[in-house]
Structure 1
């Protein structure tokens, strides 16, 4: 626990406005419609980082079947709150969550946070040729 902050996985606490404001301007989901993001959150295990005043300053979500597989997505800490260890604490809370124990595989995609995720056991795909994707990077720009 970090003084002045808390992590919650209570979906009712997630601030859709704050999450959308950040995620809709990222390289991975630029322009995502708010309703699309709401649907994604409604169907994911969500984690928020909040100040002691209740302001949401971080987020992560796991898309999962709660038994064998999960995909980590939409991880962020707002710029004003970076450098305090919040992303590491958030990752610890995510990976310690009871619903995410015993999973065979957890995937993620990142362009710039490899060092963070390596601390939690993530590594490049051992056999990338076995993975395929259907990728539509400009889908929110239509």
Structure 2
């Protein structure tokens, strides 16, 4: 773990003000209203928060059937804490360090492919299909 940071999958520890603040600046989250973020967090199968002391500085969530499939979403680290391996540790904790370690995982990213490849993510094969959101086009 990068020095001075802890990770927790306790949803009660999340600071939704921080989660909202981080996600409203992310290219994939700018369209979401605060209520959307709160509903997404509440409906998630698992969450992981990253903390510097008591301050939340990172976040990720997953949606899953709890049996064999999970979708990784909203992995983000506060700008002042980037470049220290914290995002990698969040992904490792979520994907390999919990109850979904043996699941098939999916995710969407525009710019972090190399981070996810370290955990076995690859471009989808011929069996994968996607129906884009009708609410927003991610740019």
User: Under a length normalisation based on structure 1, what TM-score does the superposition of the two structures give?
Assistant: 0.88
| CA-CA distance at 1:137 after TM superposition | 4.8
| CA-CA distance at 1:102 after TM superposition | 2.5
Q: Alignment length, in residue pairs?
A: 136
Aligned to 1:12, the other structure's residue is in SS state helix
126, 130, 136: which is aligned to 2:134? Answer: 136
Aligned to 1:117, the other structure's residue is in SS state helix
Any runs of at least 4 consecutive aligned residues in structure 1 with deviations exceeding 3 A, and if so which?
none
Q: Map of 1:83-98 to 2, 5 A cutoff?
A: 83-98=83-98
Using the alignment, how far apart are the partners of 1:93 and 1:36 within structure 2? 25
Using the alignment, how far apart are the partners of 1:69 and 1:27 within structure 2? 25
| CA-CA distance at 1:21 after TM superposition | 0.8
User: Under a length normalisation based on structure 2, what TM-score does the superposition of the two structures give?
Assistant: 0.90
Using the alignment, how far apart are the partners of 1:96 and 1:121 within structure 2? 10
Using the alignment, how far apart are the partners of 2:90 and 2:136 within structure 1? 29
User: What is the root-mean-square deviation of aligned Cα atoms in Å?
Assistant: 1.6
Q: Is the aligned partner of 1:20 residue 2:20?
A: yes
Q: Map of 1:57-68 to 2, 5 A cutoff?
A: 57-68=57-68
Contact 2:8 2:48 in 1 (8 A): yes
Using the alignment, how far apart are the partners of 1:94 and 1:70 within structure 2? 10
Q: Which residue of 2 aligns with 1:118?
A: 117
Aligned to 2:50, the other structure's residue is in SS state strand
Structure 1: gaps (5+ residues): none
Normalized per residue, the structure richer in helix is: 1
Q: Which residue of 1 aligns with 2:99?
A: 99
| CA-CA distance at 1:93 after TM superposition | 0.9
Aligned to 1:120, the other structure's residue is in SS state coil
Using the alignment, how far apart are the partners of 1:28 and 1:94 within structure 2? 19
